[in-house]
């Protein structure tokens, strides 16, 4: 299984446990093309951070409390090899595709 799919499963597992309805949510996972310094155990690590965006059916970011985001981030960095940071997309605006707002005609 690809890392992205495993990360999505972790997110769904935790959010369902916290009573979020994930049937109409869209989860986007990608690895950034930079290396970030992190600490795992007693060692410094240099890995690509994972970017996560969770949208509802209207394509707006779902509001998730910090303690749940923290739980998800910790589970991902402890479970996925070569991942030491999680970055969340938390904008209030519609997401963009190719430099255009989702509301613009593509």
Domains delineated in the chain: 3-92 (3.30.300.10)
| φ and ψ of 85, to 5 deg | -145, 145
Q: What is residue 100's predicted lDDT score, i.e. its pLDDT?
A: 41
Q: Is 45 exposed, middle or buried (0-12, 13-18, 19+ CB in 10 A)?
A: middle
Residue 100 Cα distances to 10, 51, 53, 74, angstroms: 31, 20, 17, 33
Residue 22 and residue 71: Cα distance in Å, rounded?
17
Coil, helix or strand at residue 92 = coil
Per residue of the chain (106 residues), give pLDDT as tens: 799 999 999 999 999 999 988 888 889 999 999 999 987 778 898 999 999 998 887 777 788 889 999 999 999 999 998 888 999 987 655 444 444 444 433 3
Answer yes or no: pTM beyond 0.85. Answer: no
Packing angle between helix 66-79 and helix 3-17, nearest 10 degrees? 140
pLDDT of residue 92: 59
- In whole angstroms, what separates CA 99 from the centre of its chain? 21
| pLDDT score recorded for residue 43 | 84
The whole-number pLDDT of residue 8 equals 95
Q: What is the pLDDT at residue 95?
A: 47
């Amino acid at each position: 299984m690809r890392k992205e799919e495993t990360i999505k499963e972790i997110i769904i597992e935790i959010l369902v446990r916290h009573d979020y309805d994930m049937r109409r949510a869209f989860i986007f996972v990608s690895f950034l093309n930079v290396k970030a310094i992190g600490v795992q155990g007693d060692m410094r690590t240099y890995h690509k951070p994972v970017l996560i965006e969770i949208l509802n059916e209207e394509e707006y970011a779902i509001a998730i409390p910090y303690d749940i985001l923290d739980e998800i981030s910790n589970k991902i960095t402890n479970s996925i090899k070569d991942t030491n940071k999680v970055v969340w997309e938390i904008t209030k605006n519609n997401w963009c595709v190719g430099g255009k707002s989702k509301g613009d005609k593509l």
